[in-house]
């Protein structure tokens, strides 16, 4: 009897993680590339009042042009950004006993990367942070949305000046990596509740 109590007590003190065969499906939504959200949308709305719907298109084109500059700079450091992101997600999940399954497998939980890229966080200084929008589906009708930087403490958000990100891919990759680590901490916390 005493031995059984000792064994039960020992089991309750062990930090239990999911078995190594637990899988998470990872999917990327289209457009599957680095995006940018800056002043273009605001400029488009302002232009719409003078030149109509073309103003909105012009605003979107401004942000897309900046996104292309950032993609080009990061492409000099990392040629396959999707693969880079998948590897980081896989490493983060493996630390907690999960593995990434091929996205063709229709299993739960599913992690959808809806958007990734960069966003102006302070219009007056062009401080730019990484941006993530992920959805974690634990079942067909159950999902949690995680948004970075929106859902995170302001003092935990690292930024760089936009003009630097357009020419220095290392800075952009650094922002993406560090922010994804923070997002994955929240994903792992959600997975433990499943």
135-149 average pLDDT score: 93
| The predicted structure's pLDDT at residue 4 | 41
Find the farthest-apart pair of alpha carbons in the chain and give their distance in angstroms, rounded.
84
Mean pLDDT for the stretch of residues 140-158 = 94
CB 126 within 8 A of CB 48: no
Q: Dihedrals φ, ψ of 117, to 5°?
A: 160, -135
Q: Which domains does the chain have, with CATH numbers?
A: 19-35+78-192 (3.30.160)
pLDDT of residue 82: 93
Residues pairing with 23 in the sheet: 99
- Which residues face 147 on adjacent strands? 133
Residue 107 buriedness (CB in 10 A; 0-12 / 13-18 / 19+)? exposed
What pLDDT score was predicted for residue 135? 96
Burial class (CB in 10 A: 0-12, 13-18, 19+), 131: buried
The answer to whether residue 59 scores a pLDDT higher than 80 is no
The Cα–Cα gap between 104 and 73 comes to 31
5/150: higher pLDDT: 150
Please count the helices (runs of H) and the strands (runs of E) in the chain: 6, 7
Lowest mean pLDDT among 1-15, 75-89, 132-146, 173-187: 1-15
pTM, two decimals, is 0.81
At 168-181, the pLDDT tens digits run: 999 999 999 999 99
pLDDT tens figures, 105-141: 678 899 999 999 999 987 667 899 999 999 999 888 8
Tokens representing residue 169 in the block = 């891919």
The mean pLDDT of 20-36, rounded to a whole number, is 87
Residue 35 — pLDDT band, cuts 50, 70, 90?
Answer: very high
């Amino acid at each position: 009897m005493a031995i059984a109590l000792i064994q039960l007590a020992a089991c309750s003190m062990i930090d239990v993680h999911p078995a190594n065969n637990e899988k998470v499906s990872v999917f990327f939504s289209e457009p599957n590339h680095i995006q940018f959200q800056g002043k273009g949308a605001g400029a488009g709305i302002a232009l719409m009042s003078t030149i109509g719907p073309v103003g909105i298109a012009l605003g979107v084109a401004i942000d897309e042009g900046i996104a292309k500059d950032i993609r080009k700079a990061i492409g000099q450091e990392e040629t396959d950004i999707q693969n880079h992101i998948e590897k980081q997600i896989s490493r983060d999940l493996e630390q907690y006993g999960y593995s990434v399954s091929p996205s063709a497998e229709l299993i739960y939980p599913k992690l959808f990367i809806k958007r990734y890229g960069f966003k102006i966080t302070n219009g007056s200084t062009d401080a730019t942070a990484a941006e993530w929008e992920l959805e974690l589906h634990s079942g067909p009708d159950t999902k949690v949305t995680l948004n970075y930087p929106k859902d995170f403490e302001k003092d935990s958000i690292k930024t760089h000046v936009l003009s630097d990100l357009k020419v220095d891919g290392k800075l952009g990759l650094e922002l993406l990596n560090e922010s994804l680590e923070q997002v994955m901490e929240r994903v792992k916390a959600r997975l433990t509740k499943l």
